[in-house]
Structure formats: structure tokens, C-alpha cells
Amino acid sequence: MYEQRFDGRKFDELRKIEAEVGVVPNAKGSARFRIGNTEAIAAVYGPDEVKPRHFEKMDRAVLMVKYDMMPFSVPDRAKPGIDRRDMEIAEVLMNALNRAIMVEEFPQMMININVYVTQADAGTRCASLTAASMACADAGLPMRDLVASVAGGKIGDSVVLDLTKEEEDFEGGATDVPMAFLPSKGEILLLQLDGKVSKEDLKKVIELGKEGAQKIYEIEREALKRRFSNESKS
């Protein structure tokens, strides 16, 4: 049984969020997204010439996505360098971003998206995807919509939104469902499942995810508006 959340949140409540755009002066676009004690920074470069050339696609841009956790992002010190988990997450991010960015507008070009997790307390792929999407918008890339991403799941008998690491580890492991949406299109870009869940509960998790993503979406839009209203003043 999991009746009360460790941090006192309601089951459908997100952690505290901070979103900021334009945090890396040397990138074409960048963003920082923090949700509780999980934080990701994304930097976007391009569109540029494809290197190496054989990655080139005649009909669209190629997205090169990198995901990395800083060694100091977790209590045990993450091993520096890219491991299999980092590669899997980069692939997941790339697949989602390919459907959000209008890649068909940049044939034979390459867009580099680098995401660094500075602090990890579960949900890093979701925070990374949200940060990457804001960074792409900041870079001026044409997009079908911003991506808003959050995990949901099941702890004991309770369906919950936005799990912490402590919750993920509760009683030998919760069910974790990372999700991503294009909110204004009503499309799901990412749905992963780690653990067991009934069809009915999965529907409830997705519903919570959708509602959470809508809140994240508003925060992303506010961050982008702040950035562009500051720019027009300077």
C-alpha cells in the first residue's frame, strides 16, 4: 500500500518546475528544465552540413541526439562517458523529436541536440525531452508543437504522476511509464512501460500524464515568451 507520497504531494501533482530558455550563450538554442530534483540542460546546434556525409538524408534533416548524465548528477557518481542506457535514451529522444521538428524542411542537413542531466531523481528522459524541445524552439527550428513530457506510474495500488527515485524504488520497484505529448495536437510521442499494469490503470496513468503535460506545456510557453519579450526590449 502506498497511501501518502514521501514528499507530501497529491497523486496527480507534479514536482516544482523551473523552465528557462537561452541558458547556453554559445548554442543556437538552449534550455534548462527542472522538475523537483531532476534537471536537464539542452543545447541545439544547426541546421548544418551533415558530417559524416553518409548520414545524410535526401528528404529531411538528420537529428544527432546526445544524452549524458553528469558524474555528479546522482549520489553514487555516474560513470563518465556514454553507456548503453545513455544510447537508448538518446534514441528515444530522437524518435520523439523527429515527429515534433519539421525535419522535412531541412533536407541534407544535420541538427545536433545535446542534453546533459545535471541532477537526477527519476524522470530524466522526460525532463531531457522537454528541455530539448524548448531548446529547439529557442533555436528557431520550425516545429509542429512543443513536446511536453512526464512520467507516471503505479506504486502499490496507487496511480501516480511524476515519480521520484525513492518512489520508483518503493517495495522492490514501482511501475514507471515515461510519456511525451504534442499537447495542442493531442498526439502521444512517447510511451514506455517498465513494470506491470492493467489496461484500466494504464489508461488512468496516460490520463494523468496528459493533464501533467498540459501544465508543463504552459510553463514551457511562458519561458519562451519571457525569452522573446526580453529580447525585443534589448
Residue ranges that bind ligand CDP, judged by CB under 6 A: 74, 78, 85, 120-125, 165, 176, 178
Nearer to ligand CDP, 112 or 149 (CB): 149
* 41/120 Cα distance (integer angstroms): 12
Least distance between ligand CDP and beta carbon 121 (Å): 5
Least distance between ligand CDP and beta carbon 175 (Å): 11
Least distance between ligand CDP and beta carbon 182 (Å): 19
Nearer to ligand CDP, 103 or 162 (CB): 162
89-93: which pairs have CB atoms within 8 A and are 24 or more residues apart?
89/124, 89/125, 89/128, 90/65, 90/66, 91/65, 92/125, 92/129, 92/178, 92/190, 92/192, 93/65, 93/67, 93/125, 93/128, 93/129, 93/132
Nearest residue to ligand CDP by CB is 124
Least distance between ligand CDP and beta carbon 180 (Å): 11
| C-beta separation of 211 from 12 below 8 A | yes
Q: Can you name the residues that pair with 34 across neighbouring β-strands? A: 18, 39
Nearer to ligand CDP, 74 or 94 (CB): 74
Nearer to ligand CDP, 78 or 90 (CB): 78
Strand 62-69 and strand 109-119: the pairing is parallel
